[in-house]
Structure 1
Amino acid sequence: MYLFSRPHWIRQLISRIAILWPLKAVGTMAFMAIFFWGYFWVLRNPVFATTVMPRIGLDAWIPFTPLAFSVYASLWVYVSLPPALLGNTRMLAVYSQWMAAMCLLCLGIFWLLPTGVPPAVIDWSLYPSIAFIKDTDAAGNACPSLHVASAVFSAFWLDRVFAAIGVPRLARWLSAAYCLAILWSTMATCQHVAIDVLAGTAVGVVFAVLSLRYAPAGQI
């Protein structure tokens, strides 16, 4: 019942989604289209040969889990939430610019220093959804994990929005937990190893902290 004891924040969530929704919808789709164009171009045109990332002790703790794919794929919903909940064009611009800068940095790394994950002894034909990702997502984009960096960056921004409108702390913790689940899924689907995840987390934290200096709670 606690989640619904302060209905004003629910109304604010709904109203924020409605604010500038055509711009948000078109802008998000355009951003993703441009990103994927650049992403696949970089994977097809690396400067140097791909380096295979090593496994460390942490990798042994997270086994392959087919059910993790749904969590892995849900990143695209999760990263769409912060811009959907921003309340003005200035914050949309700040968010978009820093997200774009983070993506460009990672794409530059993938282009200059392509990396891949060690091959897993798994018959991917038994897992069609994951096999599709393996077939389309060529080696070269392992470290830092942009999947992880995007999730972490979005989690920080989502928490700032939630704090600004008084969302209950439980919901904020659930958002953070879901971000951690996305990080776990990148390893549980064998898309990344631990070093990729740690590096991606560092990138996401740095860009989130720097960008949120321009997004005070009273203006977001």
Structure 2
Amino acid sequence: MTPSASDASSTSSATQPWLAALWRRCITLFPLKLVGNTVATLGFFPLYFWIMKNAGQAWVLPLTPVDRLIAFWPALLPVYLSLWGYIALPVLLAKDKRELLGFSFGCAAMTALALLVFWFMPTAIPNFAVEAAPGTSLQFLKMVDSAGNAFPSLHVSFSVFACVMLARQLRDVGAPVWLRIVNVAWAAGIVYSTMAVRQHVLIDVLGGLALGVALGVGTRQRGPVLAPAQQARPA
């Protein structure tokens, strides 16, 4: 007897409960996630650029031997810009309001701490001689996001914080190892790209790394973790 489509679907769901668990997380509070993430992202930029324009004289960060070893690689610009999609994933996969608020609090705290540093201790990266063809995305990035607001790198701290949260979420649903590796590789690619497209240097990358890890650990939820089968079970 040929198995029906419903039988095949049930078998697939039973053998891969993490997929069902991820789907349930995605649809939970989806309108709130969509509106909240959009408002937070759009609200960040005016304040960021206002501080960049009005802060005092910036201290130019020194280059390290590591910075001199990393070649300029404009092809990594899409990886650099992918942060704005990557950071939306922990929001999308939040299982409830508590987890959603925890991630939101972490992002808000990182932003507030970094903006205070930008205001009271403004820094900038050296003026790299970067050739960007007119009309390209790289030229636009260099025009809009200038060398200021360097330390700590919020690009790095956001990607590291999102990586920590996603690692926790993927572990909770019992996701396979390859997916967890993809998560870490994506975050590492974003971090590397900040130096490869000459938007940051090692010192502010390390500052962003420390900030992201600190908030990732600080916002860890305490409590029992449900097994993947329990998370996938309908209410």
Asked if TM exceeds 0.5, the reply is: yes
Q: Does 1:180 pair with 2:188?
A: yes
Runs of 4+ in structure 1 deviating by more than 6 angstroms, as ranges, are none
Q: Does 1:90 pair with 2:88?
A: no
Give the corresponding residue for 1:139: 147
- The DSSP-based 3-state class of the residue aligned with 1:125 is coil
Give structure 2 stretches of 5+ with no counterpart.
1-12
169-178 vs 20-29, greater mean Cα deviation: 169-178
Paired residues in the alignment total: 215
Residue in structure 2 matching 1:203, options 211, 215, 227: 211
Cα deviations across residues 17-69 of structure 1 (Å, max 9, x unaligned)?
111100000000011112112111111210x2011111101112211101100
How much does 1:156 deviate?
Answer: 0.2
- 2: CA distance, partners of 1:174 / 1:137: 28
Kept in 2: contact 1:148–1:183 (CA 8 A):
yes
How do 1:7-46 and structure 2 match up within 5 A? 7-46=16-55
Give the corresponding residue for 1:71: 79
- 2: CA distance, partners of 1:9 / 1:74: 25
Distance 1:191 1:6, change over 3 A: farther
Give the corresponding residue for 2:133: 125
Give the corresponding residue for 2:60: 52
Distance 1:168 1:114, change over 3 A: same
TM-score scaled to structure 2, two decimals? Answer: 0.86
- 2: CA distance, partners of 1:176 / 1:61: 23
| Identity across the alignment (%) | 38
How much does 1:216 deviate?
Answer: 4.5
How much does 1:124 deviate?
Answer: 2.3
65-74 vs 169-178, greater mean Cα deviation: 169-178
How much does 1:5 deviate?
Answer: 9.3
- 2: CA distance, partners of 1:168 / 1:210: 26
- 2: CA distance, partners of 1:168 / 1:202: 27
Larger Rg: 2
CA RMSD of aligned residues (A): 1.8
- The DSSP-based 3-state class of the residue aligned with 1:27 is helix
Residue type of the alignment partner of 1:202? A
Give structure 1 stretches of 5+ with no counterpart.
none
- 1: CA distance, partners of 2:205 / 2:14: 37
Kept in 2: contact 1:155–1:175 (CA 8 A):
yes
How much does 1:125 deviate?
Answer: 3.0
